DNA sequence: CGACGTGTTGATCTCTCTCAATTAGAGTGG
DNA sequence: CCACTCTAATTGAGAGAGATCAACACGTCG
């Protein structure tokens, strides 16, 4: 550990009043049941223990760690992953501002997955048992959390479909669209000028169950076809329609009825 | 449909009083926070709308269905899946007695996945908004549900690791162990005489992102090595240690510290 | 300027898929 | 009791998508 961390000041920034923070919490961007009342905001506020900042590449939760608290991603990107003992890594999901972290592990149990920061990032820290407190004191918030958790699962479901049944080309098309949408929804301009895209090709490969080399070759192909562009850490979708068709992604609506045979 | 099914009596058995049913609900086998109070049981009881029975192969929820209620699997096996428009199917998870079904979809939204019965099965049916009722009227139960949902996700996480990063052999070893454990935990003898195993090789293939043929060849290899046996619809693990080593599965404990390089 | 991290590309290699057939068992009808 | 049908399990052979191995290009950084 360096005796004089280069930017230790990040650990104790000129902290804005915490209250303002919770009011502007990105968590509220999620399509929640209803707007939280000021009482509820206060409740969350009171459970919040502190903030925690990481630099890109640092790890928030180690795989197998036993005492991980609960977090909320305040800003930046992160990802959850699992590894095999020989080092093979699978990224389970990417986390954007407003996502929950650590509900998966039963209290007092070992974390089933690690969490690393993808960019410099800020997290809100909660005690593990505040999950219970929240449920007890605000059923509404409790309900929102189970819904959020379920939503998280449905994203993993999507990835599993990709990794299990889509070709490399299809997987990448699918991931680009899905990540673009998520990132765009956090922006005012809805991604008209592209969205921030901090993943390296290694992250993409590990998220899609592909090798780095094959990921690169496939992405170049898509790029040459004019479907997308990644430049200066931003992702631009140039032909969403074709990408969506490639990924077999049903826009927003229901799945098209497919012929019975 | 046969005019006189051999055991049609299963469809309308001498129904035990519903109360008895909820008391003996397999959901209670889950390592919940605490034993539910009789009040809580009564609450669940009151929200339960009816029971629903399916025969093996029938579908409970169609992909894209918009009005699916909430279910609980009372007995039998089922599975959740997604398909691509050309028919490729990925099984997301297998459901055993005591599992929740349908929390994933936002109310009023389209089901993101289908659910089929794997064996003859019985389900408890709840109205969609009873999820909210439950939270409102019993924070404890609400908490349990978010925990259960999170647990479901961690199972999908495991599968994603397998499908993304494990070889065919490793995937199968891993699935056999995990399913064995789940099935064994529902039995009194903890699986000493094997556990029921209703999956066809097609289900295994679809659950692991493999082709049917390769699944078969790989399973035969493992079987010839004496690692497991499937016979008469039951699964017997004959060499768990080797299977676990193959799957790189950390028994119950934490992951072994792996060398830093 | 050399060390790194990330992105690219070409050349094999191989695990897994697809295609084809065959076997075995359960259920049906004559 | 036997022919017929269907589903699930098996096995062999050939094809291919994606993995692995090797270099090299580029930009950043101490």
Task: For residue B150, tell me if it sits in a domain.
Answer: no
Structure tokens at B200: 């066809």
Print burial letters for A237-247: b (CB count within 10 Å at least 16), e (below 16).
beebebbbebb
Task: Look at the alpha carbons of A109, A113, A114, A120 in this order and tell me if their dihedral is positive or negative.
Answer: negative
Q: Name A101's bridge partners.
A: A71
- CATH number reported for the structural domain that contains residue B181 in this entry: 1.10.10.10
Task: For residue A218, tell me if it sits in a domain.
Answer: yes
Residue A169 has pLDDT above 90, yes or no: yes
Q: Does A16 touch chain B (CB under 8 A)?
A: no
Nearest residue to C19 via alpha carbon and C1': B213
- Asked if A73 and A102 sit in the same domain, the reply is yes
- Asked if A179 and A130 sit in the same domain, the reply is no
Task: For residue B21, tell me if it sits in a domain.
Answer: no
Residues 6+ apart with CB under 8 A from A230: A197, A219, A223, A236
- CATH number reported for the structural domain that contains residue B108 in this entry: 2.60.120.10
Find the domain containing B225 and state its range: 158-247
- Asked if B43 and B91 sit in the same domain, the reply is yes
Structure tokens at B243: 């299977």
- Asked if B137 and B162 sit in the same domain, the reply is no
Residues 6+ apart with CB under 8 A from B204: B172, B175, B210, B215, B219
Chain B residue nearest residue A157, CA to CA: B92
pLDDT tens-digit map of A99-133:
999 877 765 677 789 999 999 999 999 988 888 89
Task: For residue A34, tell me if it sits in a domain.
Answer: yes
Q: Does B244 touch chain A (CB under 8 A)?
A: no
For A:122-151, CB contacts with B below 8 A are 131-132, 135-136, 139-140, 142-143, 145-147, 149-151
Could you give phi then psi for residue A228, rounded to 5 degrees?
A: -155, 175
Q: Residue B9: what pLDDT?
A: 36
Nearest by Cα to A246 from A153, A162, A155, A159: A162
B32 CB and strand D closer than 7 A: no
Q: Does B214 touch chain A (CB under 8 A)?
A: no
Q: Do A151 and B256 touch (CB under 8 A)?
A: no
B55 CB and strand D closer than 7 A: no
Rounded-to-integer distance, Cα A42 and Cα A25, Å:
12
pLDDT tens-digit map of B33-58:
567 777 888 888 888 889 999 999 99
Residue B246 has pLDDT above 90, yes or no: yes
- Asked if B164 and B237 sit in the same domain, the reply is yes
Question: Structural domain tally of chain B?
Answer: 2
Task: For residue A185, tell me if it sits in a domain.
Answer: yes
Q: Which of A106, A150, A161 sits opposite B147 (nearest CB)?
A: A106
Q: How many residues does chain A have?
A: 261
Average pLDDT, rounded, for chain B = 85
Q: Name B94's bridge partners.
A: B79
Rounded-to-integer distance, Cα B180 and Cα B190, Å:
9
pLDDT tens-digit map of A142-151:
998 888 899 9
3-state DSSP call for residue B234? strand
pTM over 0.85: yes
- Asked if A63 and A106 sit in the same domain, the reply is yes
Nucleotide minimizing C1' to CA distance for residue A57? C5
- Asked if B129 and B200 sit in the same domain, the reply is no
């Amino acid at each position: 550990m360096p005796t004089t961390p280069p930017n230790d000041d990040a650990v104790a920034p000129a902290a804005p009043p915490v209250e303002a923070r919770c009011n502007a919490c990105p968590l509220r961007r999620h399509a929640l049941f209803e707007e939280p009342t000021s009482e509820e905001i206060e409740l969350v506020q009171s459970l919040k223990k502190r903030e925690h900042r990481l630099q890109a590449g640092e790890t928030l939760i180690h795989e197998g760690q036993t005492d991980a608290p609960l977090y909320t991603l305040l800003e930046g990107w992160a990802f959850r992953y699992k590894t095999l003992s020989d080092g093979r890594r699978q990224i389970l999901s990417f986390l954007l501002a407003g996502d929950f972290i650590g509900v998966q592990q039963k209290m007092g149990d070992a974390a089933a997955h690690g969490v690393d920061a993808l960019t410099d990032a800020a997290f809100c820290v909660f005690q593990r048992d505040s999950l219970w407190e929240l449920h007890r004191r605000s059923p509404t918030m409790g309900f929102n959390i189970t819904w959020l958790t379920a939503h998280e699962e449905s994203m993993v479901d999507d990835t599993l479909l990709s990794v299990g049944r889509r070709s490399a080309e299809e997987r990448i098309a699918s991931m680009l669209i899905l990540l673009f949408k998520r990132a765009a929804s956090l922006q005012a301009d809805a991604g008209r000028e592209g969205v921030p895209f901090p993943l390296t090709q290694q992250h993409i490969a590990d998220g899609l169950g592909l090798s780095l080399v094959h990921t690169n070759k496939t992405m170049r192909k898509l790029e040459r076809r004019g479907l997308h562009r990644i430049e200066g850490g931003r992702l631009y979708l140039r032909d969403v329609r074709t990408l969506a068709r490639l990924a077999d992604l049903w826009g927003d609506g229901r799945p098209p009825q497919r012929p019975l045979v």
